[in-house]
Structure 1
């Protein structure tokens, strides 16, 4: 089953991103994982509202606390690093964070460096991603 692509109407400028992230602690995004990952059916991306490369032990403590609070298990393929993140305005209520990995996107899409934790896992709290193959995101405020 293929989900419809999320339409982008425009990208936020760097100034708009800074204003938008004011008061945001982190953003969690959940999407369906590739089909061959049956034990870890959800692709999570955690966008921390910092561009500081926090020490590994602090990153691990944040990650572990997040897993516990969200009922997430079997985390694999964990990547944690400062990455460029853009934001798009679409038809959704909130701006969609976009992890930029292609060189072309990094040059063409206004972005901010953020500490990103990206991984595959399982959780009963994110059934939309797991059972309906939908992508969603939530903003957590300070």
Structure 2
């Protein structure tokens, strides 16, 4: 089964991103991992709504909390750092976060810097990504 790309109809501009992120604590995204990672079949990205660069011990504590709260096991290929994140709107209910890696994307897509944790792992709580090759994301708000 081949996964279909999620269509982005437009990108939020800087002001719309700021408004969109009001009250957002974090966003967690789950997508199928590349086939060679059988023991870690889900590609997770956690977008923390902060521009703070955390010390290593704080990063590890935050990461550990996410693993426990979401029943995530066998994390591999872990990257955590400040990264540019754009947001797109499309046919989905909420705006999709986009981790901008390529310099041309950073230059052309409006974005905000967020603290990002990106890794491969496993979890039965995200069966849609693991079993159906679907990508999804969820917002958590701090009210």
Q: Into which bin does the TM-score normalised by the smaller protein fall?
A: over 0.9
For 1:138, the equivalent position in structure 2 comes to 138
Between the aligned partners of 2:59 and 2:121, the Cα distance in structure 1 is: 17
TM-score (norm 2): 0.98
Superposed, which structure 2 residues align to 1:67-82 within 5 Å? 67-82=67-82
For 1:62, the equivalent position in structure 2 comes to 62
TM-score (norm 1): 0.99
In the TM superposition, residue 2 of structure 1 has moved relative to its aligned partner by: 1.1
For 1:13, the equivalent position in structure 2 comes to 13
SS of the residue corresponding to residue 93 of structure 2 reads coil
4+ long deviations beyond 2 Å: none
Q: How many residues align?
A: 142
Between the aligned partners of 2:58 and 2:21, the Cα distance in structure 1 is: 21
SS of the residue corresponding to residue 126 of structure 1 reads helix
In the TM superposition, residue 4 of structure 1 has moved relative to its aligned partner by: 1.4
In the TM superposition, residue 56 of structure 1 has moved relative to its aligned partner by: 1.2
For 2:119, the equivalent position in structure 1 comes to 119
Structure 2 alignment gaps of length 5 or more: none
* RMSD (CA atoms): 0.5
Structure 1 alignment gaps of length 5 or more: none
For 2:22, the equivalent position in structure 1 comes to 22
In the TM superposition, residue 116 of structure 1 has moved relative to its aligned partner by: 0.2
Between the aligned partners of 1:25 and 1:130, the Cα distance in structure 2 is: 25
Between the aligned partners of 1:122 and 1:3, the Cα distance in structure 2 is: 19
Between the aligned partners of 2:19 and 2:59, the Cα distance in structure 1 is: 25
